[in-house]
Chains A and B, each alone.
Chain A
């Protein structure tokens, strides 16, 4: 105990001197003669909470980190609470924060994050995609996180389903109409409903509406086109698809489990939540791009970033770990071990395991599809992201599960949606054109 206090004292005094000399980076690194100089850092993350994932993070990915790093993953609620509470108490223990784009929004809004524009400039050679660079500004002009890794959502298909594929359909370029027909063929052939969606409490079904259905049917990210006639048609067709889905879809959280149990043959989910199915049975599974609608193949890239909270006890150390984690070697290791894709231009090696290979191919095909319509995560909603998600889940609940009239539900929920937009003053985000002032429901 006493020793750790001493370490902290040494670390903080060295840090103070280093900052005073404004050569924080090199000073900390050169202090090789004093191992305590940089001190261990706490890396607090909303990602990789399951024990085996957290262990991979610690044992493999952070094994050679330049600074001793204590990786602490947490569920979204407590994650948010701890970061905010530390700021409010003025006693910050976390030096590095890893989270999804949406996790950072409330912190940035509350002015709790350090400006990382300098770090971004130093890491110019990493080749971050321009979309990610723009996103990391969260609507402002400074960068608040450094892109860490990315993922997306695709369809997983059990090969047993292929014999029921509708005539003329290409499994790599499906449409929602074909998905419905496919589900219907399977039901007629097997007597079972074998489509599947993650509609359980921790499932990500809301992303399906925001980044897949709405863009595909309305060409909008789900706010502007929320209650347009195309949206009414969309809900009608999705209702028909849902009727061909395993009723447990209202409870599923990670689709890899029902896929492995073969309760479901065709499932939409996050790549990291399908990877175990692909890993365990690469020969029985296909991973394919999500279906397309009348306006294109809507899909949503998910981005995670690394940020530093204000008052971080070891900012220099955190910057070194950011530098380390964005190196090609760590980016590829993250793909191999945790199925999140590089957020840099790191080359994906050829010798990937079959499961990861399946996933990498599906992700590449989806992004490169001629009708691809990438749709971003909601931007600028601050702490209201959860309430935005609730609008889509409530709409789904009322229309699909409770059979309420579509237009009426859309009108009512549209009002709540507009209320959230007005309150947060969030502008529209791609694929919608930018708006002056809050994004408006048309």
Chain B
């Protein structure tokens, strides 16, 4: 194969191919990329541009009114605070859990395959369904309260999801969100772990590295690209947390995506909804840039 390529290159050098053919070779990758680019342009770039226009428009004229209306809203800062707080709790928890899970899976434990399927279950469940599942656990007459009553801890039940208990309400959402999306992180990290050659770990072992040292100094650095992907995807998704929050606590815990939805759906104001969408996009972009810089993967590290 290599030989053939070399031969081709040689002939190309000796007698330049007709320009049309050479061009085709150069353009081939672009032709192959074109469908993806077209798809991204039509379904991502264009709506994003539309949202941007919509967010600075009022009755068809340019206006900063929608942005102002969004920022003046009583729920504005609360929605941002809740979203950031949720992200700060959920994403690290998910990464740590997913890392432990995927390390266990590649450690060659007996029945690891079974665990993989069990842990991947949340991937197949819709956000809203996951919210409803956790609602049946956390609500006043839910499984958790029944279990607590069964253990003799509090017969009346505790309203975990009541606005009167903001901490438990928030934690319930965090737990549900963590459960729902840890599998996604795990799949990415697992894929990353599986491509790390065994030689490195074996070499470290020969030099007497402990398990922890191996993970800390060999596995984690090698896993950096996967971690980067997982963190970016998960954080962006955390900014969009919506269905689980709505299913569990309704209006009591405003988050950014929910505000966008509410302004569009209930309040019939697409401009303010677009302003929220824009804000979510800005958050996602800033956060992606931070991750890309903080977890920069140098070529020599990959080599």
A residues touching B (Cβ–Cβ < 8 Å)? 76-77, 80, 106, 199-201, 247-248, 250-251, 263, 383-387, 389-390, 393-394, 397-398, 401, 413, 416
- The residue in chain A whose Cβ has the minimal distance to the Cβ of B247 is A201
B266 and A76 contacting across the interface, CB-CB below 8 Å: yes
B265 and A77 contacting across the interface, CB-CB below 8 Å: yes
- Grouping DSSP codes into helix (H, G, I), strand (E, B) and loop, the B interface class, with mixed when no group exceeds half, is loop
B251 and A248 contacting across the interface, CB-CB below 8 Å: no
Chain A's nearest CB lies how many Å from the CB of B157?
11
Q: What is the bound-complex CA distance between A370 and B251, given in angstroms?
A: 37
In-complex Cβ contact of B74 among A200, A389, A398 (8 A): A398
Contacts of B168 in A (CB 8 A): none
Contacts of B74 in A (CB 8 A): 394, 397-398, 413
Chain B's nearest CB lies how many Å from the CB of A153?
19
- A201-B250, A251-B249, A251-B250 are contacts. A77–B162 as well, Cβ < 8 Å? no
Interface digits, B234-255 against A, CB 8 Å rule (1 contact, 0 not)? 0000000000001001111000
B140 and A248 contacting across the interface, CB-CB below 8 Å: yes
- The residue in chain B whose Cβ has the minimal distance to the Cβ of A404 is B74
A390 and B140 contacting across the interface, CB-CB below 8 Å: no
Interface digits, B158-175 against A, CB 8 Å rule (1 contact, 0 not)? 010111100000000000
Interface size on B, residues (CB 8 A): 20
Contacts of B161 in A (CB 8 A): 251
- The residue in chain A whose Cβ has the minimal distance to the Cβ of B269 is A387
B246 and A201 contacting across the interface, CB-CB below 8 Å: yes
Contacts of B159 in A (CB 8 A): 247-248
A250 and B267 contacting across the interface, CB-CB below 8 Å: no
Closest 8 A-B residue pairs measured CB to CB? A386-B267, A77-B265, A247-B162, A201-B250, A383-B268, A250-B163, A386-B266, A386-B268
Write 9 A-B pairs (CB below 8 A) sorted by A numbering: A76-B265, A106-B268, A201-B246, A248-B159, A250-B163, A251-B250, A394-B74, A394-B75, A397-B251
- The residue in chain B whose Cβ has the minimal distance to the Cβ of A106 is B268
Contacts of A387 in B (CB 8 A): 267-269
Q: What is the bound-complex CA distance between A80 and B269, given in angstroms?
A: 12
Contacts of A251 in B (CB 8 A): 161, 249-250, 252
B162 and A250 contacting across the interface, CB-CB below 8 Å: yes
Contacts of B269 in A (CB 8 A): 383, 386-387
- CB of B77 closer than 8 Å to a CB of A: no
Q: What is the bound-complex CA distance between A413 and B252, given in angstroms?
A: 19
Other than the given A76-B266, A106-B268, 14 more pairs (CB < 8 A) read: A76-B265, A199-B251, A201-B246, A247-B159, A248-B140, A250-B163, A250-B250, A251-B250, A263-B140, A383-B269, A386-B267, A394-B75, A397-B251, A398-B74
In-complex Cβ contact of A250 among B140, B252, B264 (8 A): B252
- The residue in chain A whose Cβ has the minimal distance to the Cβ of B264 is A77
Q: What is the bound-complex CA distance between A383 and B164, given in angstroms?
A: 33
Interface digits, B51-71 against A, CB 8 Å rule (1 contact, 0 not)? 000000000000000000000
Q: What is the bound-complex CA distance between A339 and B246, given in angstroms?
A: 29
CB contact list, B126-174 vs A, under 8 A: 140, 159, 161-164
Query: Which of A384, A394, A397 has the most C-beta atoms of chain B within 10 angstroms of its own C-beta?
Result: A397
Chain B's nearest CB lies how many Å from the CB of A263?
8
